[in-house]
Amino acid sequence: MVGLIEMEIRRRLRESGGRTLPADGYTIIQKPEAIWDEMKLASLPELISPEEWAEIYTPASTKPVPPKINKAKINKALRDHGKNSDVGKFILAARHETVGKITVERKE
């Protein structure tokens, strides 16, 4: 049942072209989420300093922890360098937005 409600909410959001829907007593919000293409980001060290890359990237270790990109630090690098810089354009090319989560909040 919840799946059908969510599908209907997503349909109405698409039709309205917005991210919120009016409802009596509630606020319905769609919050998109960003996913990153880590294969594209693998070339980012060529554009930034080694210190900045060390903050963004956690290499694989002997422990069972896969290598990963720190999303908060990549967003900071984007803010620091600007969206129109070479670094910013490179980072944005690796970013993809998903449809995200639907939240329903009771109005007070």
C-alpha torsion sign, points 93, 94, 95, 98: positive
Measured distance CA(13)–CA(31) in Å, rounded: 11
Does residue 62 register a pLDDT over 70? no
User: Is residue 67 within 8 Å of 58, Cβ to Cβ?
Assistant: yes
Give the range of the structural domain holding residue 72, as residue numbers without chain letter.
2-106
Q: Average of pLDDT values for 66-76?
A: 84
pLDDT at 81: 92
pLDDT at 82: 92
Measured distance CA(53)–CA(87) in Å, rounded: 12
Helices 86-93 and 71-81: angle between axes, nearest 10 degrees: 140
pTM of the model: 0.45
Q: How many domains does the chain have?
A: 1
Q: Count other C-beta atoms under 10 Å from residue 25's C-beta.
A: 7
